Amino acid sequence: QVQLVQSGAEVKKPGASVKVSCKASGYTFTTYYLHWVRQAPGQGLEWMGMINPTGGNTTYAQNFQGRVTMTRDTSTNTVYMEVNSLRSEDTAVYYCARGIITLDYWGQGTLVTVSS
């Protein structure tokens, strides 16, 4: 069965970086884009961007351009999402999700807390 398993919760100080992983299984890794969506406490869903596992091509939302980097490792079927220069407003649950036109499978979410 399709599974996306994310890394565990993180606590970071303002200005630091965080790297969240998402390991895919149960399907051919290179046939679906992987997306990242975040949700601040009590707020809605925000699409951050996506990566094509085949060539590593990425598309980022304007809000995250220059501060977020998405990468993949085809040897381990894992995608990574790194956020630099963290600020308190980046406190959120970060989800990876599989999809070409919609997001049909989601990871369990990773809580990133930014606090001094």
Partner 1 sequence: DIQMTQSPSSLSASIGDRVTITCRASQGISNSLAWYQQKPGKAPKLLLYAASRLDSGVPSRFSGSGSGTDYTLIISSLQPEDFATYYCQQYYNTPWAFGQGTRVEIK
CA distance 83 to 66: 9
Q: Which of 28, 62, 75, 116 binds partner 1 (CB under 8 A)?
A: 62
- Closest approach, Cβ 95 to partner 1, in A, equals 6
- Closest approach, Cβ 11 to partner 1, in A, equals 19
CA distance 88 to 115: 6
CA distance 33 to 29: 9
Q: Which residues bind partner 1 (CB under 8 A)?
A: 35, 37, 44-47, 49-50, 59, 61-62, 95, 97, 101-104, 106-109
